[in-house]
A and B are shown apart, each in its own frame.
Chain A
């Protein structure tokens, strides 16, 4: 679902205007030329593909398509399996408990481990005495970390006094781990490890960390190497004290224009200062592994959204060949961006397994999970927007600070850079180091924060211009998909009944708000699939891709079934294992758009092989045959009896060998990319995904309680493969957005730097009674860029929710919320004071 801005993409990205179908920027053209010089262009054929939005405007456009790609798929309405609501192929396994997650893995002789973590937010470790733990009769191994993954690291190590053990930079930082024969023994023994600390001054508050003379997290510039796709800001950024930045460019390079000039051209200027909190990922399944070190190689069962990235990181840490490391994730219970790398727990479990000569299980508890495995950075954003009287935006200026704790990547500029057309955009994003656990990519990094500011200010601009917020967006947003989504959503929610701000009498006031999301079309070309057919007619799909919960197993089954004329349940899915062809990490909303074209390409190749072998028996050539409804026949109406046909099973039985297989990878997008990394096959496709959400709230102005009563979420994701799973994902995105807007908050004690709510009791997450009526509507948008034309939805579905709630609260009360979570404390303060109205936080 989550993840996105990998270091390289961020730092090397050229300039462009990335909404809609932007003009391909100069730098990208040069990049593309360079790339073109390196390798010859693949042979292509010109082909008409469907393009446009179903129900709005459809046409066909010509694309140059690589010769080995299958013919274009028609619209979903003409397909049998793709685009239909298919229950998850593994749903029954999950609800009956038969699905085995990492925590369920039990290997013979397996040991249990517990981490030793620091209670101090900043300290030097004087000594570690493991003798008492070693003497515990059930203990089999102890390992002390010599490097902490996730923390940024000093560019110049000589800036800090040498230390025998890593410097502690946040409370909860892993130090060591103990493996024992039972979990209780491991827990007990972990407490026996005696660590002597020299506590050092610390700062956990972002505002305080920015002040001159604040305790330093790093005594010099530091960079986060980024954990295998797990977020992190660009490297080499200038740093003063704890403040690192500003960074002025985004994934698509530096935004265009001169904002000073833009503000001079403006008739109206709106501005505000917005604050968001730190949110932890809080996946139901905590991070964890079972590591099994054997002389011939390492097998790791891991709760990860990137089997490949965990393999690569472990191979690097343990100096193994990638072929010696196997990572398995059969089922996982959520990641949201924090589960890409091996993690300190993964490294520790592997060390322990190596030392003990036995498999080691290390699952984190909820407290470790909150403290050390990542979070969404907080933010304080000063945003200023200038516009002409007709609504045309002339300038957007964003200055944002955020803390990713000991990590980097707290920027919020994505929406400001990408959502609307504006000739002068300037964004300045700074990270502020604090003595708190490092952030990790979290479902649309930076976007819910940025959207909370941008979409409220756009609403304020509409009010100043005395135009409807939707009409203003129609003017400044050139995305056809979002225009259609606004139209559909407004109709569903009955937007026209929306009253003036604070029109309701009485204590409880109701309101309607809207906000929208824009997300990148991210693609990982390193996405491969193998499809096998055996003589008994059984079909298998193999790929390293893992199901983070979005339902990729089912989508892959649908794509293969469609191509072979079968049912999704006819396909055996083997995924989440690096022993299979390399799959993409599940992040950046790119899994479906990356791996389903590979699956279709492989299934198509397999089909051609099969047809080649059976065509003679059907008295024809392969190009005259189709596979439909489990039958291989001439491409004629089914009523035609003139030609021979055979069932799929009969066809398979004619194979000359016991099994045939075809393997394919994701080809380049037809027509190229906005930007592509040659090194790691990671690309920004042309165009955007996004969505528009309408929210109805009730605000009790006497208690400060905000209740979300209804959400209408209208989204696009290219060609929908499985609307049922997509709706689930939108529901999840909306719920996580509500939870972010109203409840969740990592609270660090200002005096000790320790988290006071590292549980799921005081770290508050929306529950059943906070769940509103959610109506999801998917539009079908075809762009003809690959063999399935499918895309992602995990991230866009959570981006606009908080902003839409805030706009609805404004419509209900006439008071703007400049800070989330909108707890009773914040809401009552805002209602009480002009402070909030001025954009200053109470």
Chain B
């Protein structure tokens, strides 16, 4: 008797279950219900995306310098093109635009080495970015020294102002938040009480009331004739508010570190600050990257609230532009442009945080 020693080789899978056809069958047409849903979804995409695409691209007007150029029935991007400089720089004097460009260019040039793997002396560069750069940027934006003309903060606006508010908020809120989180977990009663009160107070009020207080009520308490810059007031409000949120995010990370880590650090004879700086915080912060970036993205979008106190961030600049009698009725184009700009920034932040998580992934993910 002939006995097969070897198992029969596997038959190839049926042609309908592999490749494109297989993927379609498995994901889109696996049952009558799914088939119906697929067609409904395709129809919805067809009736929404096609007109939107036609409006935004095919029927759109791109060149010109007045509303007369917009006659093809689609989007009037001429409006955005004519006002582009204003949307970017606000009411900053045109001759001084280079100062804003230089400040942001310099920031990018200083940040790029930080993302390179093998750049030497990163610590020095970080210190430079955090301590020296803000001073340079301040003088570039504000002027009044080194032969640069003074530009009042009331003329700052557009995307520049949005980035300044968000940048200051992010850079200042993280360290203050870390200190508050440590303070809240401290064993010293006064430090703990102060931290708890601060965090709970600022988390308990909406940002919009903070901004209102800073712009409407605060001037009444100040002596007449003393003016505390409105932008600075708003900035302080935003930093206070965001650092309270940041503190809670960081505290979440601190609580996730097993007690053994603290005990091991103590057993090695490390001081409190060394324990925190070398053992606890590096692990805790890594755990809460998604939460931190989430707060940053929320902060970036929250900066648009300053428009209710008459500061002209990107959104407010766009809104004021369509109150120009010559450009009435192009609000949709303006809002679409604003949404696109915000999306680009928020999506980049989100992608960067995901990349950072992957890079720092050293086996803690469960």
The reply to whether chain A is a binding partner of chain B is no
Interface residues of B (CB under 8 A from A): none
